Each structure stands twice: as C-alpha cells, then as structure tokens.
C-alpha cells in the first residue's frame, strides 16, 4: 500500500507529466483482469501510478463491485441499467462473457487509501473529509506532499482539522523528520483524542525518547478522558435498552397493568407488528419505491391497526370468557402464542425476514466522546412519543375516561351506561396495538423471526411488575432503571452474569415491595 501511495502522490502532484513510456495502464489492466487477489492488489497500485484519468472511475467501480473482466484482459464497467462500458474508454461496449473482478479486505484497504488520496482535492467538502480520514488511516509517508498542498488550499475549518490530523499521522509514520515536528504531531492526535487516534499512537514503535514520552502521556490522557466519557456512554446504552424495554412493556402495562389479564401472547403481538413492517416494506418496494425511505412511518399506524384488531378479536373470542381466572388465562394465552408463532412460520417461513433500515436510521454520530447510533436515538425518541401519546389518550379522550372508569369500578361504570364489555375489548386492542408499534421499532434492532416475541415477554413482565402494576410512570421508570443497571453491570460482570444479577436484585426488591416501585393506592386496590 505504501508503494502504491508513493506512485499515486507523484502522479497527483505532477499531473502535467502525462502518460509516459511503455504503457503502465496496460500492465495495470492485465493485473486487474488476472483473477488472482495478489495481482488485483498490485493492479490497483499500478493503475493509480499510471496517472490514467480513468483511475478514479475504475477503482470506484471496483469498490462497488461493478468492474468486470474478460479472459482476454479487457475491463468493463457495468452500468446501473445492466449494459457495459469499456473501463478505459468510458464508451458503451459489447462485453460478452465477463466475470466480476473480486476483491478481498487487503484490496479494499488499498482502494480506500488510493481513492482517499485521489479525492483530497475534490470540490465537495464532505468528499474531502472522507478522503482526509482515509489518508489518516493509511498513514503513508508518501502522502505528505499532497497533503501539505491540500492543507494550503483548504478553506473549510472542519476539513482542515481532519487534514491536520492526517498530516500528523503521516509525519509520525515516516521514519525521518524533526523531533519537534513529531512531538507537535502527537499533540494534534492527543487533541483528537478518539479511539482511532489512540490505536494509531499505541501502534508506533521505535520513536525517539522525547516523542515516546509524549506518546505515553498522550495515551494516558486519552484513556483518562475515555473513562469519563464511558460513564456517559453507559448511561446512553442503558437509556436505549430501557426505551426498548419500555416499548415492549407499554402495551403490557395496559393489558396486564390496567385490565389484570396475564397475556402470554403479548410478545406475539410485538412479532406481528414486526412482520407488518416487513409486509409494508415489500409492498412499497414493489409499488411505491419513491416513498420507500419513509416506509417505517407508514408501518407504525398499520402495525398498530393490525395488532390492535387481532387483540380485539382475541379478547372477544378468548379472553372475555376467562376474566377472573388467571391460571386459565395464562394457559390459554400460552397456547395462543404457540398458535400465532406457528401460523407466522407457516405463512412466512421459519427464516428471518429482511427488514431494511432506512439510511436516516443507519450509522452513528459522535457527541464529544460519545458514539450515538441513530437507530437507538430514534427508538428512544419513538418510545417517548408512544408513552406521551398513551398517557394523553388515557387522560384526555373519552375512551380513556371510560377505560379508567371501568378499571376503577366496573359496576358503577356499567350503571352509568358504559358498555363495559366493549371497553374491555378496546382496552385490550389498545394494549396490543402498542405492542404492534413496538414491533416496528424492534424490527430495526432484532431478528424478524417467529421467535421475536418470546425474547421480550419475560422482560416485559419484569418491567411492569417492578414498576408497579397499573402505573405507566412506574413502568417507565422501571424500564429505564433495569436498562441502566444492566448496562453498568455488563462490562464488569459479563452479559450472562449481569442478567442473572438483575433478576436476583429484582426478586429481592419484590420481596421488600411486593407491589413494585409505585403501587396503586386506594380502596379499590385494597379490596
């Protein structure tokens, strides 16, 4: 890779020299179309060194898996519409029987470095940013002249900082250079202070004593800072786990907490929500590809309706016969959960279904030393919205009023003209619908398989019992507490032990406070 970049820099800096002797491009093409990983690796270097104006396009298409070769050493780039263009000419060509040029991790690394260096002078700031980062990772001394030139021209302050960091890495990686320069470079990376900078600094060996001392102190400083950030990071992890638990448990807080129905099929309502997401995505991919990025927004209300109506059907056909008989309810809903699982398995197959994550939910952003993943951020947000919506519905709508009336005093409510059986069905439907919405969120972080619900049912019951049955605030606080405690224990004790410890703590807590953190009070409860 080093040599490759050396060639590349010469090519990039002295573009004027133009193509010279025997045709290095031909050699590169021969290597790229050889079918062996080592030759392709070399070919990438040769191509860049040749200074061919098509280098960036060819390497770019190789990176995207669009570069094909014919046994007679001709290269083609496949277009999106399935036709081919000649790789060197860029004009449409008849390809015939071609095979894709295959790459491995080593070639992928070389391509990243090569494209990074080629794109340092790109007009687009974001491209230059990625390019500088690629140069930082490659840390090739040969990149110094180009980097210095790019730094002089750079106007964007953020990109400039990135380029300075890349330059620091390059300075430290080169075998010669003034000691003061190197110490200053260590300072730049110390200021960067992230895990990549730490990894790079730690990898340096055979440095002069002054530089080595600077590196050691920089590593200590980075580690100390990382330790402080890691507390914040653990809190974020805990919040995100808590929000997932909250989503899964919010529906149960209604069906179990408010109605007192032990619904073992609750997890399957979540699973049905996730499958609804899958179906919505399939449908939209086929019929409205333009709106595909927003498929989750369509899935949320649909999942609510699908799971909610299934919930209403279950209540009307099964649960209403079992009120006041918790053991029978438990067994019947168990059976139901098995039926639902197997039904889904029969319809969709036993395999996981591929639910896409839209681009706006992929990746992560950094906030200081924190890594915040977008999918988790949106789930935290989503659970807050769901919770707020649920509370508002219970507090301000007439259905909510009736629900509260029925749960507080069923006979009085009936005497006031409320059709209590109908309210029961709607309440159960509401709880199931919320479980369905949770399924949409879970489809983004977990398997969409018939077993999806199983893994959340126990946790959901834990949250509801811990928080205090019948209290949404309790459920919220319970979910967040469990999430955060779990995430602080995990690095210390390991994931398996952390789970056990949380369970034991919970049991002890329930021994002391059988009704959870926020028990309901009042005569209705006491009786």
- Least distance (Å) between residue 141 CB and another protein: 18
For another protein, which stretch binds (CB under 8 A), given 26-34, 153-161, 206-214, 369-377? 369-377
Name the phi and psi angles at 370, rounded to 5: -95, 140
Residue with tokens 């619900």: 453
Based on CB atoms, which residue is closest to another protein, 389 or 491?
491
**Three-state DSSP state, 68:** strand
Name the phi and psi angles at 521, rounded to 5: -120, 165
| Total count of residues recorded for the chain | 527
Q: Which residues in 17-56 contact another protein (CB under 8 A)?
A: 37
Residue from 59, 244, 249, 485 in contact with another protein (CB under 8 A) = 244
Based on CB atoms, which residue is closest to another protein, 142 or 201?
201
Distance CA 121, CA 162 (A): 14
61 vs 76, 87, 111, 265, 375, CA distance in Å? Answer: 10, 9, 11, 49, 29
Q: How many chain residues touch another protein (CB under 8 A)?
A: 70
Distance CA 229, CA 391 (A): 34
Asked whether position 237 contacts another protein by CB under 8 A, the answer is: yes
Based on CB atoms, which residue is closest to another protein, 261 or 448?
448
- Least distance (Å) between residue 393 CB and another protein: 29
- Least distance (Å) between residue 169 CB and another protein: 13
Region of residue 275 (phi > 0: left; psi between -120 and 50: alpha; otherwise: beta) = alpha
Strands 99-100 and 67-70: antiparallel
Q: Helix, strand, coil shares of the chain as percentages rounded to 5?
A: 70, 5, 25
For another protein, which stretch binds (CB under 8 A), given 51-59, 139-147, 279-287, 331-339? 331-339
Q: Quick one: tokens of 20?
A: 């010279």
Q: How many CB atoms lie within 10 A of CB 309?
A: 14
Is the Cβ–Cβ distance between 511 and 460 less than 8 Å? Answer: no
Q: Which residues in 409-468 contact another protein (CB under 8 A)?
A: 445-451, 454-455, 457-458
Residue from 303, 376, 427, 475 in contact with another protein (CB under 8 A) = 376
Residue with tokens 């620091």: 168
- Least distance (Å) between residue 464 CB and another protein: 16
Mark 97-116 with x for binding to another protein (rule: CB under 8 A) and - for no binding: -----xxxxx-xx--x----
Q: Quick one: tokens of 370?
A: 């924190």
Residue from 196, 212, 322, 421 in contact with another protein (CB under 8 A) = 196
- Least distance (Å) between residue 14 CB and another protein: 29
- The residues that touch another protein, with contacts defined as CB under 8 A, are 37, 65, 102-106, 108-109, 112, 137, 195-196, 198-204, 226, 233-234, 237, 240-241, 244, 264, 331, 334-335, 337-338, 341-342, 345, 349-354, 356-357, 362-364, 371, 373-376, 445-451, 454-455, 457-458, 487, 490-491, 494-496, 499
């Amino acid at each position: 890779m080093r040599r490759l970049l050396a060639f590349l820099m010469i090519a990039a800096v002295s573009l004027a020299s133009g193509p010279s002797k025997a045709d290095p491009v031909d050699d590169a093409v021969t290597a790229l179309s050889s079918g062996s990983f080592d030759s392709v690796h070399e070919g990438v270097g040769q191509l860049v060194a040749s200074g061919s104006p098509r280098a960036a396009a060819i390497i770019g298409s190789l990176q995207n898996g669009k570069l094909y070769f014919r046994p007679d050493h001709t290269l083609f780039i496949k277009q999106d519409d399935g036709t081919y263009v000649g790789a060197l000419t860029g004009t449409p060509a008849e390809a015939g029987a071609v095979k894709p040029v295959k790459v491995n991790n080593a070639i992928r690394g070389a391509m990243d470095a090569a494209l990074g260096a080629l794109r340092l002078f790109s007009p687009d700031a974001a491209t230059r940013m990625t390019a500088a980062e690629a140069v930082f990772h490659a840390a090739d001394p040969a990149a110094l002249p180009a980097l210095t030139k790019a730094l002089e021209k750079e106007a964007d302050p953020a990109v400039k900082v990135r380029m300075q960091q890349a330059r620091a890495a390059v300075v430290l990686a080169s075998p010669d250079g003034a000691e003061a320069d190197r110490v200053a470079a260590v300072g730049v990376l110390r200021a960067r202070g992230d895990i990549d900078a730490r990894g790079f600094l730690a990898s340096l060996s055979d440095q002069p004593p002054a530089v080595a001392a600077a590196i050691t102190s920089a590593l200590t400083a980075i580690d100390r800072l990382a330790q402080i950030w890691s507390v914040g990071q653990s809190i974020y992890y805990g919040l995100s786990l808590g929000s997932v638990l909250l989503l899964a448990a919010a529906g149960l807080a209604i069906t179990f907490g408010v109605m007192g129905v032990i619904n073992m099929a609750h997890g399957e309502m979540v699973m049905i929500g996730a499958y609804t997401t899958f179906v919505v995505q399939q449908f939209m991919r086929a019929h409205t590809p333009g709106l595909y990025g927003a498929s989750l927004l369509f899935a949320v209300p649909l999942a609510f309706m699908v799971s909610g109506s299934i919930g209403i059907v279950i209540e009307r056909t099964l649960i209403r016969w079992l009120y006041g008989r918790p053991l029978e309810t438990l067994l019947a809903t168990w059976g139901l959960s098995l039926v639902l699982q197997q039904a889904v398995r029969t319809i969709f197959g036993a395999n996981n279904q591929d639910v896409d994550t839209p681009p706006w939910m992929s990746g992560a952003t950094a906030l200081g030393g924190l890594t915040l993943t977008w999918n988790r951020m949106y789930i935290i947000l989503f659970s807050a919205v769901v919770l707020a919506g649920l509370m508002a519905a219970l507090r301000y709508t007439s259905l909510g009023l009736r629900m509260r009336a029925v749960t507080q005093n069923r006979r009085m409510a009936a005497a006031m003209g409320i059709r209590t059986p109908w309210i029961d069905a709607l309440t159960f439907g509401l709880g199931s619908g919320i479980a369905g919405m949770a399924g949409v969120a879970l489809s983004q972080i977990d398997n969409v398989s018939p077993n999806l619900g199983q893994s959340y049912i126990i946790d959901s019951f834990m949250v509801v019992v811990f928080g205090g049955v019948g209290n949404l605030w309790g459920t919220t606080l319970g979910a967040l507490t469990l999430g955060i405690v779990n995430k602080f224990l995990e690095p210390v004790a390991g994931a398996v032990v952390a789970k056990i410890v949380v369970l034991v703590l919970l049991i002890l807590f329930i021994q002391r406070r059988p009704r959870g953190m926020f028990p309901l009070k009042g005569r209705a409860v006491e009786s």
